[in-house]
Structure 1
Amino acid sequence: MLTISAKEMKDVLYELFKKYEFTESKANLLAEVFTQNTLYGVNSHGINRVPYFIETVKKGIVKVNEEAKKIEAFGNIERWDGNQGPGIINAVTCTNRAIALAKKDGMGLVALRNTNHWMRGGYYGWQAAKENCIAILFTNTQPNMPAWGGKESRIGNNPFVVSIPRKEGHIVLDMALSQFSFGKINNYKLKGEQLPYHGGWDEDHKLSKNPENILKTEQGLPIGYWKGSAFSIVLDMLATLLSAGNSTYKIGLKEHETAISQVYLCIYPEIFHDQDLQHTLINEIINYTHDVTPSEKGERTYYPGERAANAEKHNSKNGMKVNKEIWQKVLSLL
């Protein structure tokens, strides 16, 4: 492993994205998001995804010069078309729009179609929380999990994000509906380690902890088994219906994952004029969760986003641990 500072990573990535003809502002935003994702300890959707992202640019899957545009509005609900532009840039744009609608009307929803992978959904949760907005965000994906009771992949691991602003530290839940995101599974593969729990099925349709076997089949295990399967189906339905975009089924007909559907819902809690009460209620829940006997020595409980915030502080001070092969691959693309 190498230790890379946030400044060094952002500078390298900025030059890389400029090379592939992104404008200065877009190259800067992409470099910022990929670096921030790594800084928060999510290498799987940060630096590790950069080579994949460049590959999608080379293949024309990500259209460098396209941007998300509003196509319909229904009060504080809007539909946007991503025009297959960069998923990160489209996601930042639509999160900002949902925030603006929320601050105007108390709640705002933007449904986006025809976009690309947003990388780490949690980034946009933090983005909303920093603007003092609650956010509920989700996306569909290509089929990469079997619906419960079936063998072939028919549902997506549809990442789901909930964020709640808080003075002492924002609450940000960022989870795929598979037991492990495929980026996380690839992390274990890069480290030559087995998964700590079953993460999907192998070619014999047996549950496996072997990351290579699961990556080969692209058959992740839904969280909560049948419950995660149902959750995935419902999120796919909502993203597809609200955006009038592609479902996981339609996405799966394409050679590569693209033209996916997403939802950005923001709520502005200041409309209730009881910020002190909100603060008390949130901390009451956190304190109750923290004040518990650890299940194992050295263990403790965390609220969603707490580990990520701790990782950001540590990595800002000490630098980020990066897989040497991944970093060399990124440098070779310059």
Structure 2
Amino acid sequence: MRRVKTIPYEEMFSQFHRVLTATGFDGDDTDTLARVFADNSRDGVPSHGLNRFPGFIRDVQSGRVDLAARAAPVAALGAMEQWDGHRGPGVLNGMASMGRAIELARQYTVGAVALRNTSHWMRAGAYGMLAADAGCIGICWTNTSRLMPPYGGLDKRLGNNPLVMAIPRPDGDHVLLDMAMTQFSGGRMGIHARTGEPFPVPGGYDRDGQLTTDAGAIERALPIGHWKGSGLALCLDLVAALLSGGQTTTQISRQDNEAGVSQVYLAFDLSRLGEAESIAASVQDTLTELASGEALPGEQVTWPGQRSAGKGRAALRDGVPVEWEFWGEVLAL
């Protein structure tokens, strides 16, 4: 039975910080990791926050993730740079890469960092938020190991290759699209499989090849838009690998575990493209028009990131919902 409780955000951050320090992290790295994991759960993405934290610690302790390694530039190409992650912590590598893309955008209007040989970055949206908080449009994506079949196929050959697009807003409630190429992310599938809660729409195929909303019965994940998601997943994989000089999904999947993935981070400095008030007004006009349309019965029209922002505010006020199975594991570390 799934046991859920709420805890103060500060307590979650503190416990993450304690475990990370005991594991060997220190200084700003500890603060960044604890904040990102806690923020992910705060915003309603525990699959890449609390629930993923014990596994991250195990990966560090086993050496699968190199605690001491950090991403570093290997080629400077004007507005674009290639970096090598040296299989260090994906969150720290991702923050450094998007941070550098923002710096390049301040100089060139657009900045790009293509990162190879890194590890899982947890919630992809965290890097889009970093760009948006800096007043930039942020776009980033990663490849993964094989997690879904191509459209028309039975065998897993494609990664779910999450893609993020973030558009800044003055109040901090940024437009944030964070989507895997599967209809639902692997983390979300795990949550629904444990709870038995059906998906609102089919998330994959069961053993008989029928589309199903039962996460526990899914044998093959469904690409978003069927052939469209399948094609987009392939292109994201190839572009990330070619720009970074890193591995493709095919190459990653020949290893014993998912390691050495390829990623791209893009930032566009809006302050160099127009007046802040005019840009903000254009975004707000579009969002207002979007919300003005009639909603289906029982539904609400929202823009990407609106619900997670609301969950974040509620969690800061009322506490962060946690599954005791995972929270207890953190307390025992």
Q: TM-score, normalised by structure 1?
A: 0.95
Stretch moving more, 180-189 or 16-25: 16-25
Letter in 2 for 1:282: V
List per-residue Cα deviations over 1:252-280 (Å, max 9, x = no partner). 11111110000000000111233232222
Cα distance in 2 for residues equivalent to 1:273 and 1:295: 37
Partner-residue secondary structure (3-state), 2:157: strand
Instruction: Report the Cα offset of residue 201 of structure 1.
Output: 2.7
Letter in 2 for 1:306: Q
Q: Which position in structure 2 is the counterpart of 1:231?
A: 232
* Identical-pair percentage: 39
Paired residues for 1:245-256 under 5 Å: 245-256=246-257
Partner-residue secondary structure (3-state), 1:146: coil
Cα distance in 2 for residues equivalent to 1:236 and 1:27: 30
Residue 113 of structure 1 pairs with residue 96 of structure 2: no
CA contact (8 A) 2:196 2:214 kept: no
Q: Which position in structure 2 is the counterpart of 1:178?
A: 182
Residue 146 of structure 1 pairs with residue 169 of structure 2: no
Instruction: Report the Cα offset of residue 243 of structure 1.
Output: 0.3
Q: Which position in structure 1 is the counterpart of 2:303?
A: 303
Cα distance in 2 for residues equivalent to 1:202 and 1:255: 26
Stretch moving more, 80-89 or 11-20: 11-20
CA contact (8 A) 1:151 1:205 kept: no
Cα distance in 2 for residues equivalent to 1:257 and 1:204: 28
Instruction: Report the Cα offset of residue 58 of structure 1.
Output: 2.6
The count of aligned residue pairs is: 329
Q: Which position in structure 2 is the counterpart of 1:10?
A: 13
CA contact (8 A) 1:290 1:301 kept: yes
Paired residues for 1:1-334 under 5 Å: 1-168=4-171, 169-214=173-218, 217=219, 219-297=220-298, 299-332=299-332, 334=333
CA contact (8 A) 2:85 2:118 kept: yes
Q: Which residues of structure 1 form unaligned runs of 5+?
A: none
Q: Which residues of structure 2 form unaligned runs of 5+?
A: none
Stretch moving more, 234-243 or 184-193: 184-193
Cα distance in 2 for residues equivalent to 1:22 and 1:2: 28
Aligned residues: CA RMSD: 1.3
Instruction: Report the Cα offset of residue 285 of structure 1.
Output: 1.1
Stretch moving more, 199-208 or 183-192: 199-208
CA contact (8 A) 2:174 2:305 kept: yes
Cα distance in 1 for residues equivalent to 2:27 and 2:217: 40
Instruction: Report the Cα offset of residue 25 of structure 1.
Output: 2.4
Letter in 2 for 1:268: D
List per-residue Cα deviations over 1:64-103 (Å, max 9, x = no partner). 0000010001101000000000000000000100000001
Instruction: Report the Cα offset of residue 61 of structure 1.
Output: 1.2
Instruction: Report the Cα offset of residue 159 of structure 1.
Output: 0.4
Instruction: Report the Cα offset of residue 204 of structure 1.
Output: 4.2
Cα distance in 2 for residues equivalent to 1:237 and 1:121: 18
Q: TM-score, normalised by structure 2?
A: 0.96
Q: Give the 4+ runs in structure 1 shifted more than 6 A.
A: none
Cα distance in 2 for residues equivalent to 1:197 and 1:286: 25
Cα distance in 1 for residues equivalent to 2:102 and 2:37: 22
